[in-house]
Structure 1
C-alpha cells in the first residue's frame, strides 16, 4: 500500500523555527507542581540562539554530539534547538528514575561502548551535581555545560546558523535490549510534519502532550511537528498528570485542545476514573484528533473511553489509531474507522501465525485486533513472508516500510543497519501483521512471539484473552516466555494486575487460555499496577519480567503454579539468611516526638512531613515540605532544617 504523494521539503528545521517565531504561537508548559508558564516561539528562538553561540564558543560544531540532559521540557527544547542551529547533533535525555539504576541510558552514552565521539552534556544547575557524583562513582567522565551559563550570553546572529543532518538523535526504547541511536534528518522531520498535516487536515491547532520529551512521541510528534506547523503546543509534567488522570481532562478543557495523543495505557487510566468523570464537567468538543499509538490498540478499552466521555462532548470518531516507531519519525500509518458503538474495525482471530492465512473467529471469540490503517503521505507499506515476498491479503507476515519519514540508518552502527534494512532499502519494523482491504492490522512484535512445543503464539493474542477475565486490570498484563535449563521449548508465565488486590482469579485466567488457545500457563503472577517495568510511553518490558521471574524476584507473588520449582528464589546454603521485606502500617507516634515523616500518610498531629517530587525549599507553616529523592543536597538540607525546627531528630520514618 502507498500513501498519497508527498513532495520532499525544500526547507529545514531552522527555517521552520524562524517561521514559527514570526507568529504569536508558543508553548504553555506545566511543571511538576501544576504551575504553568508560556514560552513563545520567538522566545524559544532567542534562547536557543544564545545557547548555540555559547556551544560554538566551546568549540562545538558539525560532527559533534551533545547530550541534552534536563528534567524540564522547556530546557530540553532550548538545548535541542540550540544544537540544531549550529549543526551539532542533539541527544535529548531526561533524568531516569531511579537515577542510579543500571538501566539509565546515560551510563551507556558516556561509557566505554558508547556510539558517541565525545562526552559533552548540556544540563542545568539543579541536575549537575547529581550527574557529576553518579558519573564519578562509575569512573565515567563528561564535560558538563550549564544551560544557565549559556543563556546569559549574546545570541547567535541569524546569518551564522549552519544546520546539518542528521538533525536529531533519539534512543530506541530499549524494550527489546540495549538502546540504539536513531539519527533523523531535517527531511525526515519536516516530511513527518507535512504528512500528518495532510492526514488529519491540521491547521491552527492546539496540541497536548504529557509524556516524556526525550521520546519520539513527545519530542517529534508533539513538539517538532507542531512547531513546524506553527501550532500552539501544551506540554505537561508526566508525574503531575498521572497523579490524577482527570487533570488531563482539565487541561484539554482549559487550553481548548484540538489534537492529543496517548498510548493505550493512558486511555485505561482515564477509564479507571469513571466515578470522578461522572461527577465532573468538561467541554471536550474542540478535540478533533486523539491519536492512539505506541502500544496495541484495544477495542473494549477504547469503546469504554468514548462512552465515558461522550456526555462531555467528546466526538464519537475522535480516536485515531496510529502506527510508527522512532525509526519512522513517529506515526506514519493511521486509521479513521474507530467509531463509538461500532466494531467493523476489529478483527477477531484465533490464529495469527506467520506465513499463514489468519484464522477468524466470531465477534467476542478469539482475540480482537484493531486496524491501524493506511500509509500517510510519503510512505509505502508492505507485509512480506520469510522469503521477502509480499503476502496476499489476509496472510500474516512481517511489516516493512519505505518513505521520506524513514531514517537512513542508526548512528554509527552499520551492523544494526544491516539487520534493519532489506537489500532494496525497506525498513524492517520488527512487527507482524496482515493487510485487509488495503488497511494494516498489527498482531504483535516478531520478538514477542512465544514458541511452545513447536507452535507459535502471539503475546498480544494471549494477553487479550487474559484481559477479558473479570477483575484483570486493563493494560496491566504480559505473556512472558521462560525456559527451564533442561528444556528445549518455552513455558508461558502470565503477569497481571487486578482491579483490586486479589480481585482476579488465577484459575479463571488459566481456563481462558486453555479454552481460547489450548495453552496452559506454568505460572501466574499478580503484581501491583505501579510495579510494571515500562518504557517512556508505557510499553511493558517483558524481558525484565522474564528475568525477574527466573531469578525468583516474584516468588511471593505467584498465584498459580503448575510446575514445581519455577519462579523460586535461587537456592542458598542453609547458613545464609535471605531477607524478606514486608510492608507494615506506620507505627503510631506521639506528636511530641521529634520525628520527620517521608511520603505516605503521616499520623495525625505529626510535626513535620515531607513528600517527594520537587526541590526542597523549606518547611511551610504547617510543617510540610517537598524534596527530591536521590538528590544528596536536597536530603541534607531537609534533615538540617527538620533538626533545627524540632531541636534535633529522634527518627526519620518513611510512611508509605
Structure 2
C-alpha cells in the first residue's frame, strides 16, 4: 500500500512553516495550574529553540548526539526538544520522579539509561541534579537555566539545520512493561509519515485545538500534544498529567474553555474521570466542540467507554467522542484507527474458541463465556497489518494469531541492539508487535500480549480476563490487579496467581481472597492457585501506567510454594511487611 506524501519533509520544516506566519501563527497554551496561563507562539518557539541549541552546542552537544530530557510538561521541555533537533541531536524524554528523594530505583534506572544511550547531556530540574551522583562524564543541565538563556533576547542563536529524511528525530524509550526499556529510533521520515497518516485519517487540521494532559515522555502525549499540532498548524493546550489525577474535571473544563476539538486518553483515564469528576465541578462546561478522542496505549474496555460517554452526554459530549486506535512506539505511534464519530464497534465472541481454538466465534452478549473485544480500526494510509500463526503463516480473518505490521512510519530499529531488532522483524520487513489479535473486515482487534499469556494445562488464557473478574470484587483497587502464570518446582503446568492491591484491614483479607477466588472461577472457569494481597501502590507499573507482569511475578510470586496457609507462605505473601516493595 502506498502512503500519501507528507506535507512537510520534517517536523522542523513544519515548525518553520508555521513560524513564518508570525503573529498569525498558532500557539501552545501552557496551564501549569488553574488560573495560570502561558502562551508560546510557534515563531517565538523557533527563536527560543535556536538560542537553546546555541547553549547546548556550548556544552558540547552536536549532530548525532543523544540528549535526555527529564523535564515536566511545559515551555522548558518544548524548547529543549526542538533545540536539540535543530542541532541534529536526538532527544529522549523520560519521566521526572515525583519526589526525587523517595523515587525508588530512579537513580539506578537513570544510570542504566545513561550507560545505554551514552547521552552528551541530561536536561532536568534542579532537584534531580542535586540528588544525582556523577553520571560518568554526562553533562547535567538545569532546565530552568537553559530556558532563561533561550528566552534572553541578547543570547546568541544557533543557525537552523534542517534534517535529511534518514536523520533520527528522537529516540523513544519503550515502557518496559514486558522487560527492560529499549530505545526505539524514529527518523524524521518516520515521524512525518505518521503525522501525515494520523492527521489525514482523523481529519486533523489547522482549525483544530488540541487539549492534552498525557505526559510528553509518552509517545501518545508527544504526538497528540506537540507533534501533530505543529505538523497540522493547529493550536495546543497542555496541562500537567498530575492535574488529571488531582482534579480530573479540569481536563473537561479546559476542553470547554478553549473549545478543544482533539484530545487523547488511555482507557484508564476515561474510567478515572467518569468516577472522580463531580457534577458541581462541571457547571457551565460545554463539550460539544469535542470531535476526536484518540484512545489507545492499553486495552480498551467497552464498558469504560460507554460509561464515559453516557456520563458526560448532558454536557454536550458527542456519542462518538471516543476514537479507538492501536499503535506502538515502534510504529512511531498509530498503526490503525477508527473514524471520528463512528459508533463503538464491539465483537462479542466465545472465550473458549479464542483460547482453545484460536478462532473467533460470535456469541450472545449474555452468554456466560462471552468476551467483548473493541474494533481498533483499519490500517492507516500506507500501513499493512497481518495475523500469523506460530510458524509465521498468514492467517485468514477471524483467526487469532500474532499481529505484524509494516509501513512508512515503522522504526529503523532499536538503538545499538541489532540482534533484538533482527528478532523483531519477520522478513522482509514485517514488524512483530508482540500482540495477539485478529482481523475482521480488514480491521484489527487486539486480544492480548503474546508474552503475557497464562498457559494452564496446554490452554492459553489472557490475563486481562482474570484481572477484570477480580476487579468486580468490592475492596479490590481498580486498575491494580495483575494476573500471571507461574510453575513451581514440582508442578507439571503453570498455575494462575493474582496480585491484588487492597486498602482493607488485615482482618478482612481472608474474606477478600475467597471473594476474588469465587469471582475469577465463576467468570473464567479457572481456580487461582493463590491470591497475593498487597498494599496500595505496590503493583509495579511503567511510567505510562501499564502493569509490569514480569516484575510482579518476580516480586510477589517467584519462590511461592503451596505449603503455606491458603497457598501464601510468609516468603511470598505480601501481607508480611518485610517483603513489600
* TM-score of the two chains, using structure 2 as the length reference: 0.87
Q: Does 1:199 align with 2:197?
A: no
Is 1:523–1:563's contact at 8 Å kept on the other side of the alignment? no
2:132 aligns with 134
The one of 431, 437, 441 equivalent to 2:441 is 437
- Aligned-residue RMSD, C-alpha: 3.1
Q: Which shows bigger deviation, 276-285 or 83-92?
A: 276-285
Return closer, same or farther for 1:562/1:338 CA change in 2, 3 Å cut-off. farther
Task: Report the Cα offset of residue 472 of structure 1.
Answer: 5.2
Cα shift readout 1:191-243 (whole Å, capped 9, x = no counterpart): 11111111111121111221211111111232112111111111111112210
Task: Report the Cα offset of residue 520 of structure 1.
Answer: 0.2
Is 2:73–2:215's contact at 8 Å kept on the other side of the alignment? no
Return closer, same or farther for 1:567/1:198 CA change in 2, 3 Å cut-off. same
2:172 aligns with 170
Q: Does 1:276 align with 2:279?
A: yes
Q: Which shows bigger deviation, 408-417 or 26-35?
A: 26-35
Return closer, same or farther for 1:287/1:45 CA change in 2, 3 Å cut-off. same
1:512 aligns with 519
1:651 aligns with none
The whole-number CA distance in structure 2 between the counterparts of 1:447 and 1:68 is: 30
What is the SS of the residue equivalent to 2:351? strand
1:20 aligns with 18
The whole-number CA distance in structure 1 between the counterparts of 2:65 and 2:404 is: 32
The whole-number CA distance in structure 2 between the counterparts of 1:46 and 1:84 is: 13
The whole-number CA distance in structure 2 between the counterparts of 1:22 and 1:62 is: 25
The one of 447, 455, 460 equivalent to 2:459 is 455
The whole-number CA distance in structure 1 between the counterparts of 2:477 and 2:97 is: 26
2:50 aligns with 49
2:531 aligns with 524
Cα shift readout 1:234-259 (whole Å, capped 9, x = no counterpart): 11111122102111111111111101
What is the SS of the residue equivalent to 2:297? coil
The whole-number CA distance in structure 1 between the counterparts of 2:522 and 2:577 is: 40
Cα shift readout 1:510-537 (whole Å, capped 9, x = no counterpart): 2333234321012224556644432233
What is the SS of the residue equivalent to 2:393? coil
Cα shift readout 1:289-333 (whole Å, capped 9, x = no counterpart): 111111100011111111100000000011011110111111221
The whole-number CA distance in structure 1 between the counterparts of 2:142 and 2:501 is: 42
Task: Report the Cα offset of residue 287 of structure 1.
Answer: 0.3
Is 2:503–2:535's contact at 8 Å kept on the other side of the alignment? no
The whole-number CA distance in structure 2 between the counterparts of 1:418 and 1:581 is: 38
Return closer, same or farther for 1:563/1:32 CA change in 2, 3 Å cut-off. farther
The whole-number CA distance in structure 1 between the counterparts of 2:535 and 2:113 is: 32
The whole-number CA distance in structure 2 between the counterparts of 1:522 and 1:294 is: 30
Is 1:337–1:345's contact at 8 Å kept on the other side of the alignment? no
2:488 aligns with 484
Task: Report the Cα offset of residue 281 of structure 1.
Answer: 4.0
Task: Report the Cα offset of residue 25 of structure 1.
Answer: 1.0
What is the SS of the residue equivalent to 1:135? coil
What is the SS of the residue equivalent to 2:468? helix
Q: Which shows bigger deviation, 530-539 or 270-279?
A: 270-279
1:540 aligns with 547
Task: Report the Cα offset of residue 546 of structure 1.
Answer: 1.9
Structure (1 or 2) with the larger CA radius of gyration: 1
2:249 aligns with 246
Is 1:283–1:312's contact at 8 Å kept on the other side of the alignment? yes
1:29 aligns with 30
Q: Does 1:6 align with 2:4?
A: yes
What is the SS of the residue equivalent to 1:218? helix
Q: Does 1:415 align with 2:412?
A: no
Matches within 5 A, 1:102-141: 102=105, 105-111=109-115, 114-116=116-118, 118-124=119-125, 126-127=126-127, 130-131=128-129, 133-136=131-134, 140-141=136-137
Is 2:65–2:120's contact at 8 Å kept on the other side of the alignment? no
Is 1:367–1:465's contact at 8 Å kept on the other side of the alignment? no
Aligned residues: 557
Cα shift readout 1:86-143 (whole Å, capped 9, x = no counterpart): 21111222323454532554221223xx143x4422335x24xx3354224xx74421
Q: Which shows bigger deviation, 435-444 or 454-463?
A: 454-463
1:190 aligns with 192
Is 2:501–2:537's contact at 8 Å kept on the other side of the alignment? no
What is the SS of the residue equivalent to 2:179? coil
Is 1:271–1:305's contact at 8 Å kept on the other side of the alignment? yes
1:374 aligns with 378
The whole-number CA distance in structure 2 between the counterparts of 1:275 and 1:254 is: 18
Q: Does 1:265 align with 2:268?
A: yes
1:70 aligns with 71
The whole-number CA distance in structure 2 between the counterparts of 1:82 and 1:346 is: 46
The whole-number CA distance in structure 1 between the counterparts of 2:579 and 2:412 is: 49
The whole-number CA distance in structure 2 between the counterparts of 1:101 and 1:107 is: 13
Return closer, same or farther for 1:570/1:524 CA change in 2, 3 Å cut-off. closer
The whole-number CA distance in structure 2 between the counterparts of 1:261 and 1:531 is: 27
2:291 aligns with 288
Task: Report the Cα offset of residue 423 of structure 1.
Answer: 1.6
Return closer, same or farther for 1:434/1:427 CA change in 2, 3 Å cut-off. same
The one of 371, 376, 393 equivalent to 1:389 is 393
1:631 aligns with none
What is the SS of the residue equivalent to 1:167? strand
Q: Does 1:93 align with 2:89?
A: no
Task: Report the Cα offset of residue 541 of structure 1.
Answer: 1.6
Return closer, same or farther for 1:145/1:162 CA change in 2, 3 Å cut-off. farther
What is the SS of the residue equivalent to 2:373? strand
2:479 aligns with 475
Cα shift readout 1:353-398 (whole Å, capped 9, x = no counterpart): 3873134442133221111111111211111111111111111100
Task: Report the Cα offset of residue 494 of structure 1.
Answer: 2.1
The whole-number CA distance in structure 2 between the counterparts of 1:480 and 1:178 is: 18
What is the SS of the residue equivalent to 1:272? helix
The whole-number CA distance in structure 1 between the counterparts of 2:364 and 2:69 is: 51
